[in-house]
């Protein structure tokens, strides 16, 4: 390697420092990879901490997804951007040291990826409205799950669905409920790290720039932390009084609620910052009894209708007023009424707070979606309707288990999903979109996903980009 100076100093006096830390299980930290390459290329030491010396600092933690920069001074070279844009900064720096031997402050540069979203909230609403009113189209969707070697949950989910099913899903749903002070067993820290937040929002913008749609739900950690099985989103509030205390500003319990939602609200702000409209689905399956925010709190204890409505309005106020986010479609998604659930409209907060309604339907193979007038009930609101979560019941008769009792698959595939949706349409139900869950219950995991995604009824990401967003 040729001799290089930085503001008159030999570059070999610099150490390389990766500024990013993770709070979850990303297998590859992009900025660390860049730091290691620089160390090898320039024969520089990698430092675990920053002291008083000279450093080349690499960071991919910006939530401004498009922007990147290289800033040069006599004590520090800062190579920075987002998870998506840091590569451009790094490549630019490598080109700079290839072309020049004497670097100075004037060699600093910045740029933008210039990714944009080809739709706004109103466009998104019209798309769902068109799909809901038609029996010729249903928008595809799946929840984001495993982390890939070089991607986050969104990127790896998109890649796996494309590889196994031949198409990209239109909707990707993400959930930051794990990133909480009340769930410290696996994730590191009490909130999401800047790097991991950048991964999420970067992959959101990349998906949206290609026509895709972002949805956000929350498996909220229980602020009381009283789940017997130690699963973060279970346990009970125990009374309507405690629920109302939690919703009262200034109380300790209200502060705990906001703390568990901190990472989610950080994500929503980052989506706004990058001009990404999104769907927001808080309090999903609230009419059941298996999450701490559910109506049924055990025995005869039920949270009142008014309390549930106030819980929804808390989210609405924070997002709309405190965060000043307007480009959001609100999705109300009770579980279909199994018989032990409250009525699907029990927690409905009012038409002015909801854009899309639907049912979460995990089937045992019996076409239960309208049990106790569940789907017809949400449709009676006159809102856009959808299958907000759908798949085989994980502990039900459709599960295939190995000798150890572990679920290894289901006797229910994407062909069954397609057949069920076509039956619903023939029965007069409206479906704007469907959303499968994760892993073995996802589009890619259920089997026959290629048949589903290639059916004329189903809209993929590419379909939406070509048919709706391109003017």
Rg (CA), the chain: 24
Confidence at 186, pLDDT banded by 50, 70, 90: very low
360 and 333 Cβ atoms separated by less than 8 Å: yes
Q: Work out whether the CA dihedral 18, 24, 27, 28 comes out positive or negative.
A: negative
At 405 the pLDDT is 87
At 99 the pLDDT is 94
Q: How many angstroms separate the CA atoms of 454 and 341, rounded?
A: 35
At 335 the pLDDT is 98
Mean pLDDT of 284-298: 97
Instruction: Convert the pLDDT of each residue in 324-363 to its tens digit.
Output: 999 999 999 999 999 999 999 999 999 999 999 999 999 9
Confidence at 185, pLDDT banded by 50, 70, 90: very low
At 178 the pLDDT is 84
Residues 359, 360, 364, 365: what is their CA dihedral angle, to the nearest 10 degrees?
A: 50
Which structure tokens are listed for 448? 């026959």
Mean pLDDT of 288-297: 97
User: Which CATH code of 3.10.580.10, 3.30.379.10, 3.40.50.720, 3.40.30.10 fits the domain covering 5-112?
Assistant: 3.30.379.10
Q: What percent of the chain has pLDDT over 70?
A: 97
Q: Which helix (H) or strand (E) holds 146?
A: none
Say what the pTM is: 0.96
Q: How high is the mean pLDDT of the chain?
A: 94
Residue 172, pLDDT > 70, answer yes
**Domain 121-469, CATH class in plain words:** alpha beta
Residue 188, pLDDT > 70, answer no
Residue 25, pLDDT > 80, answer no
Instruction: Specify the residue for token string 């808390």.
Output: 314
Concatenated DSSP letters for 112-140? E-----S--HHHHHHHHHHHHH-SS-EE-
Quick one: which of 467, 457, 462, 461 has its CA closest to 138?
Answer: 457
Residue 189, pLDDT > 70, answer no
3-state helix, strand, coil split of the chain in percent (to 5) is 35, 20, 45
Confidence at 145, pLDDT banded by 50, 70, 90: confident
Mean pLDDT of 399-410: 91
Instruction: Convert the pLDDT of each residue in 235-245 to its tens digit.
Output: 999 999 999 99
Sheet holding 5-6, edge to edge: 9-10, 5-6, 102-103
Mean pLDDT of 385-399: 95
Residue 257, pLDDT > 70, answer yes
Concatenated DSSP letters for 247-301? TSTTSHHHHHHHHHTHHHHHHHHHHHHTT--EEEETTTTTTSSSSTTSSB-STT-
What phi and psi, each to the nearest 5 degrees, are found at residue 151?
Answer: -125, 165
Which structure tokens are listed for 453? 């995604």
Q: Where are the domains of the chain?
A: 5-112, 121-469
Q: How many angstroms separate the CA atoms of 168 and 371, rounded?
A: 32
Q: ∠ CA 77-79-83 to the nearest 5 degrees?
A: 160
Cα–chain-centroid distance for residue 37? 31
Mean pLDDT of 61-71: 98
Number of residues assigned to the chain: 471
């Amino acid at each position: 390697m040729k001799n290089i100076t930085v503001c008159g100093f030999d570059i070999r006096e610099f150490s390389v420092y990766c500024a990013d830390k993770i709070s979850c299980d990303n297998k590859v930290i992009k900025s660390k990879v860049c730091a290691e390459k620089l160390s090898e290329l320039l024969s520089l030491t990698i430092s675990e901490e920053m002291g008083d010396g000279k450093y080349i600092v690499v960071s991919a933690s910006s939530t401004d997804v498009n922007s990147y920069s290289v800033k040069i001074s006599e004590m520090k070279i800062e190579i920075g951007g987002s998870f998506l844009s840091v590569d451009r900064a790094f490549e630019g720096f490598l080109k700079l040291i290839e072309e020049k031997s004497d670097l100075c402050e004037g060699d600093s540069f910045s740029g933008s990826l210039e990714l944009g979203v080809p739709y706004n909230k109103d466009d998104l609403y019209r798309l769902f409205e068109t799909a809901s009113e038609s029996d010729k189209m249903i928008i595809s969707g799946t929840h984001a799950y495993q982390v890939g070697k070089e991607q986050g949950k969104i990127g790896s989910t998109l890649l796996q669905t494309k590889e196994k099913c031949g198409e990209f899903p239109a909707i990707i749903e993400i959930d930051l409920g794990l990133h909480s002070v009340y769930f410290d067993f696996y994730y590191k820290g009490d909130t999401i790290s800047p790097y991991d937040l950048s991964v999420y929002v970067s992959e959101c913008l990349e998906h949206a720039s290609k026509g895709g749609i972002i949805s956000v739900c929350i498996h909220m950690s229980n602020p009381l932390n009283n789940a017997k099985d130690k699963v973060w989103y279970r346990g009970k509030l125990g009374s309507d009084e405690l629920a109302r205390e939690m919703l009262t500003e200034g109380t300790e319990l209200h502060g705990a609620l906001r703390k568990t939602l901190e990472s989610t609200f950080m994500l929503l702000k980052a989506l706004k910052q990058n001009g990404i409209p999104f769907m927001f689905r808080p309090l999903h399956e609230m009419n059941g009894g298996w999450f701490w925010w559910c109506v049924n709190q055990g025995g005869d204890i039920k949270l009142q209708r008014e309390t549930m409505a106030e819980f929804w309005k808390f989210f609405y106020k924070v997002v709309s007023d405190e965060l000043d986010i307007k480009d959001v479609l609100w999705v109300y998604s009770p579980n279909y009424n199994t018989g032990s659930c409250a009525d699907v409209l029990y927690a409905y907060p009012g038409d002015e707070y909801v854009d899309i309604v639907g049912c979460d339907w995990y089937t045992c193979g019996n076409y239960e979606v309208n049990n106790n007038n569940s789907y017809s009930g949400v449709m009676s609101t006159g809102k856009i309707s959808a299958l907000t979560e759908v798949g085989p019941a994980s502990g039900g008769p459709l599960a295939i288990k190995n000798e150890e009792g572990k679920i290894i698959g289901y006797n229910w595939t994407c062909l069954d999903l397609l057949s069920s949706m076509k039956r619903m349409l023939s029965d007069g139900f409206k479906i704007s979109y469907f959303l499968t869950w994760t892993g073995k219950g996802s589009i890619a995991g259920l089997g026959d996903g290629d048949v589903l995604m290639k059916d004329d009824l189903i809209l993929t990401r590419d379909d939406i980009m070509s048919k709706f967003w391109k003017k």
